[in-house]
Amino acid sequence: MAQPSRKLKLRRRRKVSIRKHLRGTQARPRLSVFRSAKHIYAQIIDDDSGCTLASASTQSSDCEASYGGNAEAAKAVGKLIGERAKAAGVDTVVFDRNGYLYHGRVKALADAAREAGLNF
């Protein structure tokens, strides 16, 4: 089995360091972002009860993006997660960038979620 790349090891280290300080509660759940080469995913998670309150991705059928590896698709997912969060009764979240730099697709998703009405 192949060893994880150095880049992946560094991201995992950043992720653990960030998650030490972030915790999603029922009043303020965590908005977690995962980014792959082809898609982007977002979940709103209540860590106290261990359940996902809302989720969106470029692979979901009601997402407008045809390809998930660009900033336009990230904006579509951010808008979708904002709408689903409002439907679930969530208006304030803690943003978990999951070890990724706050730049590019992650930033586009966050900005679109803010425009859709999420506060963080």
Tens digit of each residue's pLDDT (9 = 90 or more) over 61-77: 888 777 888 999 999 99
| Domain tally, the chain | 1
Q: Return the pLDDT at 119.
A: 95
In a domain, 11, yes or no: no
Are residues 84 and 56 in contact, defined by beta-carbon separation less than 8 angstroms?
Answer: yes
In whole angstroms, how large is the CA radius of gyration of the chain?
14
Which pLDDT tens digit goes with each residue over 106-116? Answer: 999 999 999 99
Asked if residue 15 is part of any domain, the answer here is no
Q: What is the mean pLDDT of residues 13-41?
A: 93
Does residue 1 have a pLDDT over 70? no
Query: Is residue 60 one of the residues assigned to a domain?
Result: yes
Inside any domain, residue 37? yes
Torsion of CA 108, 56, 23, 92, to 10 degrees: 70
Q: Average pLDDT of 32-49?
A: 95
In a domain, residue 10? The reply is no
Tens-digit pLDDT profile for residues 78-104: 999 999 999 999 999 999 999 999 999
With a cut of 70, say whether residue 47 has pLDDT above it. yes
Tell me the CATH number at 56. Answer: 3.30.420.100
Sequence length of the chain is 120
Residue 100 belongs to domain spanning: 28-115
Count helices and strands in the chain by DSSP H and E runs? 3, 4
For residue 104, is it within any domain?
yes
Residue 120 lies in a domain: no
17 within some domain: no
Instruction: Compute the distance between CA of residue 8 and CA of residue 72 in angstroms, rounded to an integer.
Output: 25
Q: What pTM did the predictor assign? A: 0.90
